[in-house]
Amino acid sequence: MAEGDELKTFKSLGVCEQLLEACESLGWTNPTKIQVESIPHALEGKDIIGIAQTGSGKTGAFALPILQALLENQQPFFACVLSPTRELAIQIAEQFEALGSGIGVKCAVLVGNVDKVQQAISLAKRPHIVVGTPGRLLDHLSNTKNFSLRTLKYLVLDEADKLLNLEFEKSVDEILKNIPRERKTFLFSATMTSKVKKLQRACLRNPVKVEASSKYSTVDTLKQEFRFVPAKFKTDVISTLQNQANNTYPGITIFAPTDDAFSLKKPSLANFTWDHLLSLLFHALLQYYSLAKFGNLS
């Protein structure tokens, strides 16, 4: 936290009593830099562009103002959050539900690899918050009966730099055509790319720019290395790195873009310590639980 922000509290930012209690129950004692910079402007009804690193508290920066506005106007389909990945979408929805547990907030998560019928049933219950990946959200806007975002009050584009790659750009454009122009928009990104600037001009009105990171970065305690490895050698390299890590770290977690990609690494698991295997199993079960919570796995 920057000098001068130490004495900031959520109350001093303008957060209402009901949400202050929710913050306290989650162990949020002091706002992060991006929350300090964003929340007062958002509560004033301004559009926001937030540049902040991963793990900086971005979700709280947009969830708290949205929930506070919802308290004054509890209507269904009040806000929509776009996320580039299903895992992030689930995390965002869980954060909304945790912060809004005392006021009865309902969320729907629309992501791939989850049964669309179950998602349609969730939408029929008219949730306050919809969180989804662009492709699946557009699918429901096009094909799910009686579902629309015509009354939407808030749109959030989280990790906007990733939302605007070739995979999502067309879907995002179509979604913007199907929501009201009169709305509040929050755009959060790790980097300010040319595509993000173009999106800013297209869908934000006189936004306030707040910045908690001048460039793409992660937490200071994370050591990062890049290894360029031919696909056929990935398993051997992972096994070697794991053996080196055994003597240094108590646990190791492997992230992969898809379940199929992860399966390529399974042969190396024979060399993993029991602690490592427990770590991998825990993360797999956590993902399964989160997906099952918001709909049947397809």
CA 291, 292, 296, 298 torsion: positive or negative? positive
Residues 235, 237, 241, CA angle at the centre, nearest 5°? 115
**Chain mean position to CA 233:** 33
pLDDT (0 to 100) of residue 231: 78
Q: What is the pLDDT of residues 89-138, one digit of tens each?
A: 999 999 999 999 999 999 999 999 899 999 999 999 999 999 999 999 99
6-20, 137-151, 203-217, 283-297, range with greatest mean pLDDT? 137-151
pLDDT (0 to 100) of residue 2: 46
- Please state which CATH number belongs to domain 17-215: 3.40.50.300
**Entry pTM:** 0.74
Instruction: Compute the average pLDDT of residues 10-20.
Output: 96
- With cut-offs at 50, 70 and 90, classify the pLDDT of residue 208: very high
- Give the SS3 label for residue 254: coil
- Compute, in degrees rounded to 10, the torsion defined by CA atoms 17, 19, 20, 25: 130
Instruction: Compute the average pLDDT of residues 234-257.
Output: 68
Q: What is the pLDDT of residues 162-204, one digit of tens each?
A: 888 767 889 999 999 999 999 999 999 888 777 778 777 778 8
CA 83, 89, 94, 97 torsion: positive or negative? positive
**Higher-confidence residue: 259 or 130?**
130
Residues 6+ apart with CB under 8 A from 245: 252
Interhelix angle 169-177/134-143, rounded to 10 degrees, is 40
Instruction: Compute the average pLDDT of residues 149-168.
Output: 89
Residues 6+ apart with CB under 8 A from 278: 251
**157 — phi, psi (to 5°)?**
-110, 100
pLDDT (0 to 100) of residue 13: 97
Indicate whether 157 pLDDT > 70.
yes
CA 97 – CA 127 distance, rounded (Å)? 11
pLDDT (0 to 100) of residue 158: 93
Indicate whether 6 pLDDT > 90.
no
pLDDT (0 to 100) of residue 1: 44
Indicate whether 77 pLDDT > 90.
yes
pLDDT (0 to 100) of residue 226: 75
- The full set of domain ranges for the chain reads 17-215, 231-290
**Higher-confidence residue: 116 or 2?**
116
Indicate whether 234 pLDDT > 80.
no
Three-state secondary structure along 195-223? HHHHHHHHHCCCCEEEECCCCCCCCCCCC
Given a contact cutoff of 8 angstroms between Cβ atoms, the answer to whether 83 and 133 are in contact is: yes
Segment among 13-22, 152-161, 243-252 with least mean pLDDT: 243-252
| Residue 205: C-alpha distances to residues 11, 87, 186, 273 (Å) | 27, 30, 10, 53
What is the share, in percent, of the chain residues with pLDDT greater than 90?
55
Indicate whether 3 pLDDT > 90.
no
pLDDT (0 to 100) of residue 17: 96
Nearest partner of 271 among 236, 233, 243, 250, judged by Cα: 243
Question: 193 exposed, middle or buried (CB, 10 Å; 0-12, 13-18, 19+)?
Answer: middle
Radius of gyration, alpha carbons of the chain = 20
